[in-house]
Amino acid sequence: MGIAVSIEQVVKDFPGLRALDGVSLEIAEGEFFGLLGPNGAGKTTLISCLAGLVRPTAGRLSILGHDVIGDYRQARRQLGVVPQELVFDPFFSVRETLRFQSGYYGIRNNDDWIDEILDALDLTAKAETNMRRLSGGMKRRVLVAQALVHRPPVIVLDEPTAGVDVELRQSLWQFIRRLNQDGHTVILTTHYLEEAEALCGRIAMLKQGRLVALDSTHNLLARYSGHTLTLRLGGKAGLPAPFAGKATGAEGRWTIRLGNLAEVEAVLAGVRAAGGVIEDMQLAQTDLEDVFVSVMQDGKSDVAGVMR
């Protein structure tokens, strides 16, 4: 299995800000890879460097062996990017937009593939509609179609389901899964962590421009395995002192990460002893959101390796 994307010690400085601080990772061909982080972590900057929209201050990026600066024409042909922003040309229909996008890559007479994309994204009925007349969700579908129209082997989805209805989200992921199964490499950034957990085989997490976690989704979940107990408390009593330090929340609703299930009774007994009233209780296994919060709070690097 070859390397689809190689990122080596990438640094990007803006005036008064280091957006990327020595990021290194490799993504294998055919991977479904998650790139996660809070707002301002550097995800979009890294994608912009990969797409050739921003030149890194230092470091090297390549796509299927093509350097994004030295061999930018070939590198860009290998990549399709779905941006966060709804950017579109208001003067053309959906089909015209996709034909023009094809032309940027020197591709003509590909209406069969355009029709297939339109059908997969439920855009067939809107094919002759002007872009200005589309809803926000429909415009986002067209952005996905534009990124795929030249059949790129590497696809980057930057928050592709932001503001999208549930039906489109499901149809989009069904189509993207199919492309991934056909061998396309997919890189996903999303704030919907349940999507990343369900779709991505491996995940990288950025914080303040630095790579703070990199491993398979399975290994990350296993490393932070356990249970969380969420309590909604009535009255003025708070959590018992031994548990308050490892709880998150406010206004009577608290989530506690448990070392083992035996701690449940200890927490409940402590709340009762302190005069608290438990109005609601939920016990759940650790998910990717818990892992994400733990990694961001710890501030320690949890990078297991660039290939896993």
Q: Which residues contact 200 (CB under 8 A, 6 or more apart)?
A: 32, 33, 34, 188, 217
How big, in percent rounded to 5, are the helix, strand and coil portions of the chain? 35, 30, 35
Q: Which residues contact 42 (CB under 8 A, 6 or more apart)?
A: 12, 19, 20, 21, 23, 206, 208, 209
Q: Average pLDDT of 67-94? A: 90
Total-model pTM: 0.80
- Cβ contact 272:226 at 8 Å: no
Q: pLDDT tens-digit profile of 99-116? A: 999 999 999 989 999 999
Q: How many CB atoms within 10 Å of residue 144?
A: 24
Helix or strand run (H / E) with residue 158: strand 154-158
The closest of 155, 172, 154 to 163, measured between CA atoms, is: 172
The closest of 13, 4, 5, 25 to 58, measured between CA atoms, is: 13
CA distance 125 to 133: 13
CA distance 44 to 272: 47
CA distance 212 to 41: 11
Report the pLDDT value the prediction gives residue 239, as an integer from 0 to 100. Answer: 73
CA distance 170 to 194: 13
Write the CATH number of the domain with boundaries 1-78+152-225+287-308.
Answer: 3.40.50.300
Report the pLDDT value the prediction gives residue 300, as an integer from 0 to 100. Answer: 59
Q: Which residues contact 254 (CB under 8 A, 6 or more apart)?
A: 230, 231, 233, 239, 247, 248
Residues 256, 261, 263, 265, CA torsion sign:
positive
Report the pLDDT value the prediction gives residue 235, as an integer from 0 to 100. Answer: 67
- For residue 205, pLDDT over 90 is answered with yes
Q: How sure is the predictor about 49, in pLDDT bands with cuts at 50, 70 and 90? A: very high
CA distance 197 to 185: 17
Report the pLDDT value the prediction gives residue 305, as an integer from 0 to 100. Answer: 45
Average pLDDT, whole number, for the chain?
87
Bridge-based pairing state of the strands 302-303 and 247-250:
unpaired
Q: How sure is the predictor about 303, in pLDDT bands with cuts at 50, 70 and 90? A: low
CA distance 247 to 267: 11
